[in-house]
Amino acid sequence: MPSLHIRATLLSVLLLAAFLGVWEMRTRSAANTAPLSEYDILMGKAAQPAGVPAPSAIFRHAWTELRHPFYDRGSNDKGIGIQLAYSLGRVLLGFGCAVLVAVPLGFLIGMSPLLNRALDPFIQLLKPISPLAWMPLALFTIKDSAASAIFVIFICSLWPMLINTAFGVAAVKRDWLNIARTLELGWARRAFTVILPAAFPTILTGMRISIGIAWLVIVAAEMLVGGTGIGYYVWNEWNNLNLASVIFSIVMIGLVGMALDAAVGTALHAVRYVE
């Protein structure tokens, strides 16, 4: 009997094929645009898409885009590869800055009950705020749309890593710390040889949550600030009433997000502490 992994893969493929087949049959005979009435024409109303395009149309569009993903024909016409590269660059830069702040600070919070109690009200106050709520303030103070988007990514990436790091450090077994004290290990050596290895899986879990949130937020942030990026690409294609391109970009967003999650998940699996 095939393994569970093979059976799950086959079932996923069958479900996807069934979904695409039903979608294709329902949209095969649909027109690309709905006819306008004489009144709409006189009022200058633009034609609206009659419905969601068929999967075959989306695949054709995807083939065209992926054949030349890095073309650049001006500010409003760049390939999907360039747009994704801009978004990935902003996400990784904001995420990297959050790592540099969240991990050391979370380490200190986890090791100090006093600091934990002192900073907890501020963390609980700032954590629920939507990252996009910071965008107007960032645009006003930074005065640069790309840097403001990176700042928003920094903010949304900060809290899961900070909280998970503090929790992982605080949850290290007391017996291990007592043994380290018995061996007269210094603070730095105890932190890097006992606490960090034990807490690292929890820290990576926070990073995994943060990278997913960061990739989600960058799309909305780029819709607000415009210019470049996959979020701007989606919004621009919608303004052009190109639903095939919108759906294609949504799929690409999902694939890139899945790849980012898989990368951190692989690292988490590799370093998971085994007692």
For the chain, give every domain's residue range: 94-225+254-271
Query: Could you tell me if 133 and 220 are in contact, meaning their C-beta atoms sit under 8 angstroms apart?
Result: no
CA dist list (Å): 96 to 14, 114, 158, 192:
39, 28, 10, 20
Question: Per residue in 212-247, is it b (16+ CB within 10 Å) or e — as a string?
Answer: bbbbebbbbbbbbbeebbbbbbbbbbeeeebbbbbb
Query: Could you tell me if 106 and 126 are in contact, meaning their C-beta atoms sit under 8 angstroms apart?
Result: no
Coil, strand or helix at 184: coil
Q: Which residue has the tokens 């960061």?
A: 214
Query: Could you tell me if 107 and 168 are in contact, meaning their C-beta atoms sit under 8 angstroms apart?
Result: no
Query: What is the identity of the amino acid at 139?
Result: L
Question: Per residue in 89-98, is it b (16+ CB within 10 Å) or e — as a string?
Answer: ebbebbbebb
Instruction: Answer yes or no: pTM beyond 0.75.
Output: yes
Which residues lie across from 78 on neighbouring strands? 72
94-225+254-271 CATH choice from 1.10.530.10, 1.10.260.40, 1.10.3720.10, 3.40.920.10 = 1.10.3720.10
Query: Could you tell me if 267 and 81 are in contact, meaning their C-beta atoms sit under 8 angstroms apart?
Result: no
Which residues lie across from 49 on neighbouring strands? 33
Cβ neighbors of 149 (< 8 A, separation 6 or more) are 90, 94, 218, 221, 222, 225, 229
Cβ neighbors of 59 (< 8 A, separation 6 or more) are none
Residues 53, 242: Cα–Cα separation, whole Å: 9
Closest CA to 51 of 69, 26, 74, 76: 26
Residue 200: both structure tokens together: 């690292």
Residue 4: both structure tokens together: 């569970």
Residue pLDDT tens, the chain, 275 long: 678 888 888 999 999 999 988 888 888 755 444 455 554 545 555 445 557 888 888 899 899 889 988 888 877 778 899 999 999 999 999 999 999 999 999 989 988 889 999 999 999 999 999 888 999 899 899 888 889 999 999 999 999 999 999 999 888 877 766 666 776 666 677 777 777 788 888 999 999 999 999 999 999 999 888 788 899 999 988 888 888 899 999 999 999 999 999 999 888 887 764 44
Kindly tell me the burial class for residue 273, based on how many C-beta atoms sit within 10 Å of its own C-beta (0-12, 13-18, 19 or more): exposed
Query: Could you tell me if 159 and 103 are in contact, meaning their C-beta atoms sit under 8 angstroms apart?
Result: no
Give me the pLDDT at residue 255, please: 95
